[in-house]
Amino acid sequence: MLVSHKIFISMLVWTIISILISLSAGIEVLATLELIGLLVIRELTDGFLTNETRQRMDFFIYAGLILFVVVVLRRVWLVLS
């Protein structure tokens, strides 16, 4: 089994766990948990990944960071108003 397949399966399991955790908490918690999962898996598999797989994972990490910034800004806006 390829490393990218193992990463996909582990992210799928993490996504299912994240969905179950965030059912009552909301989409913000789900987005945060998914970003945490991506960052942990990227760090743990850094030595085993090809450059192409690293770049693909980095794209999803950057998209998750942008989503996280939006969530934080929305929360700050709600606190200030």
3 and 49 Cβ atoms separated by less than 8 Å = yes
Map out the domains of the chain as residue ranges: 3-80
Residues 81 and 27: their CA atoms lie apart, in Å, by 21
* 17 has a pLDDT exceeding 90: yes
pTM score, whole prediction: 0.82
Q: What is the DSSP string of 28-42?
A: HHHHHHHHHHHHHHH
State both tokens at 79. Answer: 């606190």
Per-residue pLDDT of 24-67, as tens digits, reads 888 889 999 999 999 999 999 888 888 998 899 999 999 999 99
